[in-house]
Chains A and B, each alone.
Chain A
């Protein structure tokens, strides 16, 4: 009965310990005030206080070895050495607060020389290269050469300007990717491009499964010209470039009503995606899917509401909207169809009638009558009398 003897021995030891502990505490209880006892008692039991800072950090971040396999890079939190990036007491902008972050300059009356430490603090702050580049980025649109840091490593994305990150955090969706190139290789500076979708496509062939990156890009000049292109490539940079240049080859001209909206409400469809577009007044804004917001910005439409139903497929969504916008009936076509003048009444202009559409069969004398009697809309007047003046 070895085991029995062993257990008995353990129990005895435990009992002895308990007795000792009780006597110890009772003695303490007699000698010390109750506050100190409790403090000491709990302090010894708190695991957080017993551990060192390094042990705790390892416990949270996965320890020395960390996780094995995929994704180990991302869960790890690294120490940031603050003073290296942001000098303490200065801030990112280099703004200095007299009396707080550096001593007040001496009054004019006191002519004593400055201390060395004061001279150092009063000297102008030198801007680092990083801050100067950020200033350039504020111009609006980043070209690919400016985004070199992004190709270097994914981590540098965290240091990018948040306002230019698109709608999906770390990924490429919704990001401006510079100006496209025409077929002969000349850049087209009027146009901008936005990535609508990017994912890793996979397909199978005799060699096994193949992978490539697929991107869909929308290109536009903000004045009605727009194009949509999709490309696949194993290289990400090449993929974006090819998609952009494909989009430029398929440019279409979309009529914009009075420079801010569409001519009438539209319903359109592509495969499983349905799109309902509503004409809206000035100042309404773009209330739609973020992908369509980018499309509308590149077309140049400012006020619209779009409801999207059915499938969320990017290509079908864009094709449905573009086909709907291309099929609009302009004032001119309506006038030609009916043979009558299209007259517009607006409450913000106190219900003043303005002719916005003229049938092509009207003689010139009546057009001149309309112009002289202030009945023509300014856009239409420019259009009709542009060549004659």
Chain B
């Protein structure tokens, strides 16, 4: 329980911008327009963002407030809520380093094992830290990314992170873990454990998002910081049917409109250009016609006819 709490709390710390080479599509995740759309799509549910933390029960504090103070308190919490909902970065997978610096044939077979030299001086970020390895063969090289992660954790341990990957997140165990453990917990754990450009991070996130899509568990990630990553994944892979069905069932047509705009931004095309000119429900309808989402068109027309209950679309893509 404590570990879970720690990861939940600390996962906010690992939100930082990573510079990497540009992804395949022209628009990147840290683009301002994309971030703006995602922040608009995040449902700001206080009950979920400030949910109960176990093991911290204490006596409450009370304040007497007039109307203006109550309003100010609301806006302050809304700011905190938005900070908490900032999505963790989505970046390209890193390349393994390990360039050779020099070779010294005199040092051949000086020892059985490798020697690692780490700069542990304070005030340097982990990614800028200088770490080199002397091989038993006598070559001196830069440390690989995997080695860097481990050494930084041994000398400068980050709370909530372990030196080795938890078995929960390994390739063999993850499909079973997803069925048993809450998806949110797995995503939080990965955020605390791995840097966002590591292959493990990307693998776990993509399998978790795919699981959410296949099971239709959008409501679990809704109004959490992982919702942005989920949207970005689904938009990029072009698998939006289930998500739109979820939003329509919640009567959030405005959100669908923003989602369509985001889609048009990521996939610039002659068809999407014509969709972009429209607004409101027409935009959504034309998008659904373009993609062939007939179930959603049906439910939209039903809503217009009478105020019956909206039909939830099942993902069959």
Contact = CB atoms under 8 A, between A and B. Distances in A.
A7 interface: no
A374 B61 contact: no
A355 B69 CA distance: 12
A280 interface: yes
B50 A349 contact: yes
Given A283-B57, A348-B53, A349-B52, A374 B66 contact: no
Given A373-B74, A374-B46, A346 B58 contact: yes
A346 B60 contact: yes
A282 B65 contact: no
B56 interface: yes
Interface residues of A, number: 28
Contacts, number: 71
Contacts of B73: 343, 353, 375
Contacts of A373: 74
B309 to A, nearest CB: 18
A375 B61 contact: no
A375 B58 contact: no
A54 to B, nearest CB: 63
B47 interface: yes
A218 B130 CA distance: 75
A344 B66 contact: no
A356 B46 CA distance: 16
Given A353-B73, A355-B70, A348 B64 contact: no
Contacts of A356: 62
B317 interface: no
A366 interface: yes
A348 B50 CA distance: 9
Given A349-B51, A375-B70, A344 B77 contact: no
Given A341-B66, A348-B52, A281 B61 contact: no
Nearest to A378: B47
A348 B66 contact: no
B6 to A, nearest CB: 15
Nearest to B81: A352
A341 B65 contact: yes
Contact of A342 (B54, B64, B77): B64
B203 to A, nearest CB: 31
B74 to A, nearest CB: 5
A40 B291 CA distance: 108
Contact of B56 (A340, A347, A353, A355): A347
Interface of A: 279-283, 334, 338, 340-353, 355-356, 366, 370, 373-375
10 closest residue pairs by CB, A with B: A352-B50, A281-B57, A374-B46, A340-B64, A348-B56, A353-B73, A350-B50, A345-B61, A346-B60, A343-B63
9 contacts: A281-B57, A281-B58, A341-B65, A344-B62, A348-B53, A350-B53, A351-B50, A352-B50, A374-B46
